[in-house]
């Protein structure tokens, strides 16, 4: 049974906790995780939840409890992961463009590290030589992902060390006798085509023979989730099948066993999240009828930043006649969530819900216009718990020196 929260449940949360509010459904996260585990049951695989999607500590603890590992993109995410109770071997730190100090700190915390620049690889080698095994983040020169802003593996991307620089990589590795235990790539987000991962494996297999102590290949995250009605989700069963075929077709020298790692973010938490808002104003104009909600790109920036589609429903009048509305926010910018979208008839005060708000929703929110960030509520086993209170005026002043 797919885990979906009903309008009735969302309405009762809106009434109990107020709006705007992010609501997360724990069992949906577990459902997504089991899709991965079941599909890859015959592969030696590890999944690291890319926590940049959503870092509320309660979510991290829940994800730990269902058995996933965690991927972090900053030292603070590493510290949050430790705080949530992940042991260092379950934490992966995939850095990009950061100062060496941060890698050094991650090393002192004992977590797994992927290094993404020649200069940091060199510094790491100088300081630790063979003593601390690390992974290398490579740029595979593959164009993939839902749009250019979320494509990270193409030949103009800042991420990873370009695979075409393999000679330079090897020269640093040999100079310091580095212990390279893994090779990582991440080509982008919203990747529907599983062949992208196969292409990635092929790129890696060309260079794997150079690394004698390799233990894993990390294919990153990026699995697509359905945002629109009729949209598809990355076919994880097909992915598992193709990954195992790709490995079978490329027997590696010395028959080394390589574990496969993935770093899914969106796939685990996107559909578990809902943003519930309330309509402040209906404004009829000659161009469109606006419904302004008590939110904006300060709470959910994806529609404005990536042109992303989020399904929106009026949960106060679900059976009302459909009419066209442009759903906008209340901040002092053009924060259009949807233009001329058919939604059941809206009256001021109605609650509108935005779907797929779990990944990169709250996490990319801000206090723009000195508005408060929303609260967060977790529903687990049917029970709703507030896991972050809405900001208060004191929060806006908290770090200012008066």
> Binding to ligand LLP by residue 50, rule CB under 6 A?
yes
CA-CA distance, 59 to 23, in Å (whole number)? 11
Which residue(s) pair with 279 in the sheet? 293
Position among 53, 91, 275, 315 found at the interface with ligand LLP (CB under 6 A)? 53
Position among 71, 122, 192, 335 found at the interface with ligand LLP (CB under 6 A)? 71
> Binding to ligand LLP by residue 139, rule CB under 6 A?
no
Task: Assign 382 to helix, strand or coil.
Answer: coil
Q: Which H or E element spans position 183?
A: strand 180-184
- Residues that bind ligand LLP (rule: CB under 6 A) add up to a total of 21
CA-CA distance, 153 to 168, in Å (whole number)? 19
Question: Mask 292-331, x = binds ligand LLP (CB under 6 A)?
Answer: ----------x---x-------------------------
Active site residues: 332
Position among 32, 55, 56, 94 found at the interface with ligand LLP (CB under 6 A)? 94
Nearest residue to ligand LLP, using CB? 265
Q: Is 230 annotated as a binding residue?
A: no
Position among 25, 123, 266, 310 found at the interface with ligand LLP (CB under 6 A)? 266
Please give the full DSSP string across 211-247, using - where no structure is assigned. -TT--EEE----B----STT-----HHHHHHHHHHHH
Beta carbons of 36 and 262 less than 8 angstroms apart = yes
Tokens read off for 290:
């606006």
Q: Which of residues 349-368 bind ligand LLP (CB under 6 A)?
A: 359-360
Segment interacting with ligand LLP, rule: CB under 6 A, options 15-23, 263-271, 336-344, 381-389: 263-271
> Binding to ligand LLP by residue 92, rule CB under 6 A?
no
Q: Is 360 annotated as a binding residue?
A: yes
Segment interacting with ligand LLP, rule: CB under 6 A, options 31-39, 197-205, 242-250, 258-266: 258-266
CA-CA distance, 81 to 57, in Å (whole number)? 8
Tokens read off for 356:
């797929």
Task: Assign 28 to helix, strand or coil.
Answer: helix
Tokens read off for 10:
């969302």
- In the complex, what is the shortest distance from the CB of residue 154 to ligand LLP, in angstroms, rounded to a whole number? 13
Query: In this structure, what are the phi and psi dihedrals at residue 91, rounded to the nearest 5 degrees?
Result: -110, 135
Question: By the criterion CB under 6 A, which residues form the site for ligand LLP?
Answer: 50, 53, 71, 94, 150, 152, 186, 189, 220-223, 263-267, 302, 306, 359-360
């Amino acid at each position: 049974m797919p885990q979906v929260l009903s309008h009735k449940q969302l309405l009762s949360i809106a009434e109990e906790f107020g709006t705007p509010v992010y609501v997360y459904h724990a069992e949906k996260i577990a459902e997504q995780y089991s899709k991965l585990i079941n599909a890859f049951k015959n592969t030696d695989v590890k999944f690291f939840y890319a926590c940049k999607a959503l870092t509320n500590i309660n979510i991290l603890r829940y994800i730990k409890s269902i058995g996933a590992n965690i991927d972090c993109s900053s030292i603070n995410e590493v510290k949050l992961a430790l705080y949530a109770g992940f042991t260092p071997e379950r934490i992966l730190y995939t850095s990009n463009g950061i100062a060496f100090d941060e890698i050094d700190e991650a090393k002192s915390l004992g977590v797994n590290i992927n290094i993404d620049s020649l200069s940091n690889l060199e510094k790491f080698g100088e300081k630790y030589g063979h003593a601390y095994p690390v992974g290398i983040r490579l740029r595979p020169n593959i164009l993939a992902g839902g749009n250019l802003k979320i494509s990270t593996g193409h030949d103009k991307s800042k991420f990873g060390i370009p695979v075409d620089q393999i000679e330079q990589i090897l020269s640093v590795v040999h100079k310091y006798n580095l212990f390279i235990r893994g090779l990582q790539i991440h080509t982008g987000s919203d990747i529907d085509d599983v062949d992208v991962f196969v292409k990635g494996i092929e790129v890696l297999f060309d260079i794997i023979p150079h690394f004698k102590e390799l233990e894993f290949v990390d294919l990153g995250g990026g699995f697509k989730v359905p945002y629109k009605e009729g949209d598809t989700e990355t076919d994880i069963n097909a992915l598992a099948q193709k990954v195992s075929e790709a490995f079978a077709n490329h027997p590696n020298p010395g028959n080394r066993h390589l574990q496969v790692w993935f770093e899914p973010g969106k796939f685990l938490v996107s559909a578990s999240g809902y943003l519930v808002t309330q309509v402040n104003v209906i404004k009829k104009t000659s161009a469109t009828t606006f419904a302004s909600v008590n939110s904006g790109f300060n709470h959910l920036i994806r529609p404005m930043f990536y042109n992303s589609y989020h399904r929106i429903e009026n949960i106060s009048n679900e059976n009302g006649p459909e009419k066209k509305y442009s759903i906008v926010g209340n901040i002092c910018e053009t924060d259009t969530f949807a233009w001329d979208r058919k939604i059941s008839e809206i009256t001021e005060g109605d609650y509108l819900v935005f779907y797929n708000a779990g990944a990169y929703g709250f996490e990319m929110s801000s206090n723009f216009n000195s508005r408060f960030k929303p609260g967060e509520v977790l529903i687990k086993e049917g029970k709703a718990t507030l896991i972050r209170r809405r900001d208060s005026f004191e929060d806006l002043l908290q770090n200012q020196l008066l």
